[in-house]
Amino acid sequence: QSALPQPASVSGSPGQSITISCTGTSSDVGGYNYVSWYQHHPGKAPQVMIYEVSNRPSGVSNRFSGSKSGNTASLTISGLQAEDEADYYCSSYTGGNTPFVFGTGTKVTVL
Amino acid sequence: EVQLVESGGGLVQPGGSLRLSCAASGFTFSSHLMHWVRQAPGKGLVWVSRINSDGSTINYADSVQGRFTISRDNAKNTLYLQMNSLGAEDTAVYYCVRDNGYKIDYWGQGTLVTVSS
């Protein structure tokens, strides 16, 4: 199971919106509504921002939203803030002996 | 509050062994599948192994099959990863993660394993 391609980096100014894509196949992203997005500040525990494609855990800002179309999932961050600067990874359940596949990761920079 | 705290990482020579532990708290550990996920320096996240709630079903990534052994002690709320025949390719931060129904919802902070002579 190969890593799910994500753009290596995305940047935006404070207040802007950015979108990160995560491209899979019908065996992972396209086949299940179990796509999650994680925010990772180096040295800290990754935190789930979106689960099951578009659901936000309690405590996560509503500036974060998720969607899926076919084999591609997306994470949108609206009203970009300095604290959003981090690495973001998607993941998808696969149903196989390798139950989860992760994205290649996207570094978000707030200009 | 859910907490996952890994320990046991460190520097080990090629061919050596290490045992990682993950102490879980804040939830009913015995009710959840658990996984190990790793991240090599400068690389992305990679799933390593999973164990179901009672330890009866286990899976491994091909890259660690036959060398790593996952286990758990539900009485101690602890997850383990025994790593043998370590190589440079195993150098990574190892994360203990909780499965909550086809999704990973909590991560530990990770423990660094460095394989080098």
Per-residue pLDDT tens over the stretch A53-103 = 999 999 999 999 999 999 999 999 999 999 999 999 999 999 888 899 999
Per-residue pLDDT tens over the stretch B53-63 = 999 999 999 99
Contact between residue A22 and residue A50 where contact means Cβ atoms under 8 Å apart: no
Residue B94's pLDDT band (cuts 50, 70, 90): very high
State yes or no: pLDDT of A1 exceeds 80: no
A96 contact B CB<8A: no
- Round to whole Å and give the CA distance between A91 and A39: 12
- Residues forming a β-bridge with A74: A21, A67
B27 contact A CB<8A: no
Choose among B44, B103, B105: nearest Cβ to A105.
B44
Choose among B44, B104, B110: nearest Cβ to A3.
B44
Sign of CA dihedral B9, B4, B22, A94: negative
Helix (H, G, I), strand (E, B) or coil at B31: helix
Amino acid symbol at A81: Q
